[in-house]
Amino acid sequence: MRGAAAAAVAVVLAAVVAVSAADARGVHVYATKGTPPLRTALFDPYAFTGANSSTYEIAKATGASYLRVMVEWRYVAPATRPTGFNAADPTSPGYDWAKLASTITSMEDAGLTPYLDIIAPPAWAYSVKPSGHKAGTPNTLALNQFAKALATEFDGNHGAPAIHVFQVWNEPNNSLDLSPVRASAYRSLVNAVASAVHSVSRSNLVIAGGLDPFENRAARFVSQAPLAYMRSFLCVSMGNPKARQKRLRHPHATCRTKVHLDIWSHHPYTFGGPTGHAKRANDVSLGDLPKMRSLLRAAVKLHRIVSSHPVQFWVTEFSWDTAPPRPKAAPLGLQARWTAESLHQMWSSGVTLATWFLIEDLPSPNPFQSGLYFHAKSLETARAKPTLTAFRFPFVAYLGRRRTVSVWGRDETSSKTLVTIERRHGLRGHWGVVARIEPNRYGIFKANLKLVASKKDWLRAMTKGSGSSLAFSLTVPKNHRYGPWGN
């Protein structure tokens, strides 16, 4: 039923776009120059655990090309090490890869690329044991050996699909995930994983970071401010322009140990809209990503990072809850606008992959209600939120100076099919074609349109491959400080 409905909608949208193109004779066609890409990913440890093939097909239809997959080390490795167990050998008795391999195969069959996030050691693999709300720290050698086994099992030569992207932990600056919270300890873990997976294949990529965006000093858990943690991890001081010694005025190295990584990532949850800044200087929300990018660039320039690839900047988790279903969360329409704007904000900040948290709401009263779909008995019958369209086909438009409107979007097909830009005056006006834009090879389209417009106007983007974006108002909404989880 879902497939038939989708096909009917596609036919209608194709017809609408065809009409729009026909009406667009004589309008200006803008070309988009080469830019970095913006790929999208999904992270949902609830929906994608034991999922069927249709779940992954729906995930692919959101426009996502990647899925973040948590690899719980303790469920793959033996609870107690058998005699002769070789932790670096994936064929060693005690390892059980079947469930993970089945999940990854289903994802790849749907056209999705998993990236594997290593977490949760078995009891025998800790150097610092968990205690209460403190997560403990894994043994560096044990992690190195497990990463070697994981990368070898999924090197494409052992019956399972090839995987080339591996993330080291989740929010290591938070004591609920890694404790004690020490950037130097995390640096050792990252280097241990990098040494292992790079030895299996030089094309393998290692993701570090994935930081909690906010400092916390509560009794229950500690979270170190992400910029301070990142500086310590990379051994980079941002410098002090007022320092007496010249060498201290600019960014400089603070230790000799280098970090082996290929991708730095963050979780820029935000109170307020996509340009919102965190209240504290060393916290990092969406509006603060340029500060994190500057620090990353300084580390690369100072040769603090070792990689055979250009170092990338990813977001491996972000979202906002919606109302409904969660009281006090961002209203559906505003959250959908924020979704498109946040993708633009991340791309503008140098992020090349953005990962949305949840494909489907969890049942109330669970605090996680940021799905692209409302909760239902099955994802196949779930109702989509406006967020889905904003995530699949993001489009933003802003009034500029001297009769211009700047527009940006991403066509999910990346096919260079012309994008038609239409305008409507007010809520009940008729749509008319005002421009067409040729996307670049990544599906990114952007232009400064020569257009006399007002705050009462709405714009939308349409293309044969992706259908229609949401209508985007040129009236900038008031800065509502809705929290990511309805707080």
Cβ atoms 412, 64 nearer than 8 A? no
CA distances from 268 to 191, 408, 423 (A): 24, 21, 32
- What does 260-315 look like in DSSP terms, one character per residue? E-SEEEE----SSSTTPPPSSTT---GGGHHHHHHHHHHHHHTT-EE-SSPPEEEE
Residue ranges of domains in the chain = 2-32+393-473, 65-318
- d(CA 356, CA 246) in angstroms, rounded, equals 43
pLDDT at 336: 98
- pLDDT tens-digit map of 81-127: 999 999 999 999 999 999 999 999 999 999 999 999 999 999 999 99
Task: Calculate Rg over the CA atoms of the chain.
Answer: 23
- d(CA 210, CA 173) in angstroms, rounded, equals 9
pLDDT at 8: 39
Rounded to 5 degrees, what angle do the CA atoms 8, 382, 103 make?
Answer: 100
The single-letter code of the amino acid at 442 is Y
pLDDT at 302: 95
- d(CA 429, CA 427) in angstroms, rounded, equals 6
**Assigned architecture for domain 65-318:** Alpha-Beta Barrel (3.20)
pLDDT at 22: 40
- The DSSP output letter for 95 is B
Q: CB 12: neighbour CB atoms within 10 A? A: 12
Q: CB 1: neighbour CB atoms within 10 A? A: 7
Cis geometry, peptide bond prior to residue 365 (ω within 30 degrees of 0) = yes
Q: CB 118: neighbour CB atoms within 10 A? A: 23
Q: CB 434: neighbour CB atoms within 10 A? A: 21
Return the half-sphere exposure (C-beta side, CA atoms, 13 A cut-off) of residue 356. 33
Cβ atoms 234, 305 nearer than 8 A? yes
3-state DSSP helix/strand/coil percent for the chain, to nearest 5? Answer: 30, 25, 45
Q: Which CATH number fits domain 2-32+393-473: 1.10.10, 1.10.3470, 2.60.40, 1.25.40?
A: 2.60.40
Residue identified by tokens 């603060």 is 288
Q: Are strands 404-410 and 395-399 parallel, antiparallel or unpaired?
A: antiparallel
- pLDDT tens-digit map of 32-68: 999 999 999 999 999 998 888 999 999 999 999 999 9
Q: What is the pTM of this model?
A: 0.92
Structure token digits, residue 94 = 């005690």
Tens digit of pLDDT at every position of the chain (487 positions) = 444 444 434 433 443 444 344 444 679 999 999 999 999 999 999 999 888 899 999 999 999 999 999 999 999 999 999 999 999 999 999 999 999 999 999 999 999 999 999 999 999 999 999 999 999 999 999 999 999 999 999 999 998 999 999 999 999 999 999 999 999 999 999 999 999 999 999 999 999 999 999 999 888 899 999 999 999 999 999 776 665 666 566 788 999 999 999 999 999 999 999 999 999 999 999 999 999 999 999 999 999 999 999 999 999 999 999 999 999 999 999 999 999 999 999 999 999 999 999 999 999 889 999 999 999 999 999 999 999 999 999 999 999 988 999 999 999 887 789 999 999 999 888 999 999 999 999 999 999 999 999 999 999 999 998 899 999 999 999 888 899 998 8
Which uninterrupted H or E stretch holds 433?
Answer: strand 432-438
- d(CA 245, CA 410) in angstroms, rounded, equals 47
